[in-house]
Amino acid sequence: MKATAVPPTALQDIVARLVRLPEEKQTLFLRRLREQGIDPARLPLVPFPQGEEAPLSFAQARLWVLWTLDPASPAYNLHRTLRLAGDLDRDALDGAFTALVARHESLRTVFRAVDGDARQRVLPPAPVAVPVEDLSALAPDEREEAARRIVAEEAERPFDLTAGPLLRLRLLRLDGREHRLSVTMHHIVADAWSMAVAMAEFARLYAARRQGGDAGLPALPVRYRDHALWQRRLVEAGELERQRAYWLDALAGDPPALDLPADHVRPALRSGRGATVAFTLDAGLAGALRGLARAHGATLFMVLLAAFQALLYRCTGQTDVRVGVPVANRDRAETEGVIGLFVNTQVLRARVAGNLSFAALLAEVRRTALAAQANRDLPFEQLVEALQPERSLSATPLFQVLHNHLRDTATAAQALPGLAVEPVEAPLTAIGVDLTLDTAEAADGSVRAALSYATDLFRRATAERLRDRYLALLRQVAAAPERPVGDLALLLPDEAQALAATNAPSPGFDGVLLAERIAAQAAARPDAPALVCGDTVLDFAALEERANRLAHELAARGVGPEVRVAVALE
């Protein structure tokens, strides 16, 4: 049905009528709107009357299930550490976080199972006292080491979703003018965007308390549980059926597990432990890739994703390459300043072949990404439910590799009066998939990147080689985008040298092949021993006869030049 254009004021009136309806009639109202050509997904998001408990969003429901399966896992902890140098006002610190938690319901939400149905419950605001650990009595080098150890422990310490709080703070005092502030949240109440919101608002609230003024933060138009309820209303009204149909078609067929060459056997239950290899695309390379993107009507993200999928194809030989891509999912202005789990995950599929040029692959990735954005409202959890992939505790459904293209927030320090603030990069210790590529465009034109890997599967040296192959591939496609993907050189310099040495002819080689030498011996000395295996002895005549018989048999089965034949030997 063709969509009906409705003025914004009329949309506000429609929503006002919807909110006043009893809960059991809201779904019917939305269905009738759709029949009239009004897209309910485009209605403004407004607060809904709700009690103390509310349903979970679909993303929260998935994380709740994962937590119940493994409550001790740190895989879904979000962590940030700030170095604070200068005159820290402890009262302003506590007051800022007290105000932040009172402002955002998600930061005082807990989760309970009620008659088998998980519900979120918002607790009343309460004062926040940031716990302090004094390390100043230690020697300077011991303080730094203790701070690193404690921060790493904070990042890995699990949360109890039923008891809370799901915002965990800790202040480490190294001396009178040097502190580390550790901030950890569970992913069920926040996402990366939310962490940036929390840090920005904390800075404004701290400054206001330090200076005796008003932080000037605008009132939040909605709460996270309004989003959760609205999401379920849209599903009940059938609004997402069209998008579900798109994704079912786009991801048709059994999703192949991406079989990356691993160092260890995949465990029956993944531990969630991970590590990271950081690297940078310098401004020159990043600029060349941006130029490539402009020439093909694409974005830098699309170029980086296409190159990543080309790398995965070359490493696995699999032509159906599916990569998970997180999207902020905050297309409504009402949600921009709300802390909560809004992020959605899309599965972007590329069909790669060795004779396909990189430019053609980029065009396919561009089409796929744009179509995905046009169908971005379907929650990932609904997609998993619709596709019904085989479930396993050893791997994630639908994809095993993630690409996350971010705003560069790690280098943006928040200004605090009397303090120099610097983000501290904490080592990643948990990961939810096999492999994650994070990329972020920096102000100097470079691209900060990190390749995170599951230590259950990969050693660091393997991740470093994957990183180096990715960089080598990016340099080649920037210079020659029409080059076929199968012709892109992925061997690293040391590997190329080793291969050349292996294939080099030995000194004094006269060009006579081993088979020819054996044939000559069979003619000249047919009875001489050629092979000995235990008590069995073959002379040259018998060896030549057996070899010829086997060769004819293989040729009859279609074996010719450059055809590989497996050989089983003791």
Four-CA torsion 86, 90, 95, 98, nearest 10 degrees: 110
pTM, two decimal places: 0.76
Residue 121 CB burial class (10 angstroms; 0-12, 13-18, ≥19):
middle
* R_g of the chain computed on alpha carbons: 30
Q: What is the DSSP string of 350-406?
A: EE--TTSBHHHHHHHHHHHHHHHHTT--S-HHHHHHHH-PPP-SSS-SS-SEEEEEE
Cis peptide bond N-terminal to 165, omega within 30: yes
Can you list the domains of the chain with their CATH numbers?
8-42 (no CATH), 53-224 (3.30.559.10), 250-499 (3.30.559.30), 514-556 (no CATH)
CA–CA separation, 195 and 191 (whole Å): 6
The backbone region for 34, taken as left when phi is positive above 0, alpha when psi lies in -120 to 50, beta otherwise, is alpha
Mode of pairing for the β-strands spanning 109-114 and 435-441? unpaired
CA 323 to chain centre: 9
* 14 Rama class: left (phi>0) / alpha (psi -120 to 50) / beta: alpha
Tens digit of each residue's pLDDT, the chain (570 residues): 455 666 667 777 777 777 777 777 777 877 777 777 777 767 777 787 777 788 999 899 989 988 998 899 888 999 999 999 999 999 999 999 999 999 999 999 999 998 888 999 999 999 999 999 999 999 998 999 999 999 999 998 999 999 999 999 999 999 999 999 999 999 999 998 999 999 999 999 999 999 998 999 999 999 999 899 888 887 777 767 888 999 999 999 887 788 898 999 988 888 888 999 999 999 999 999 999 999 999 999 999 999 999 999 999 999 999 999 999 888 788 899 999 999 999 999 999 999 999 999 999 999 999 999 988 888 888 888 888 887 776 677 899 999 999 865 444 446 789 999 988 877 677 788 999 999 999 889 999 999 999 999 999 999 999 999 999 999 999 999 999 999 999 888 888 777 777 776 666 667 788 888 888 888 888 888 888 877 788 888 889 889 889 888 888 988 888 888 888 876
**CB within 8 A of 461, min separation 6: which ones?**
none
State the residue for tokens 């003024």.
Answer: 213
Nearest to 421 by CA among 266, 211, 199, 224: 199
Cα–Cα distances in angstroms (integers) from residue 121 to residues 105, 189, 323, in the given order: 9, 12, 34
| Separation in Å, CA 68 to CA 62, 72, 114, 399 | 10, 9, 14, 22
| Nearest residue to 199 via CA among 417, 420, 409, 449 | 409
CA distance 519 to 301: 59
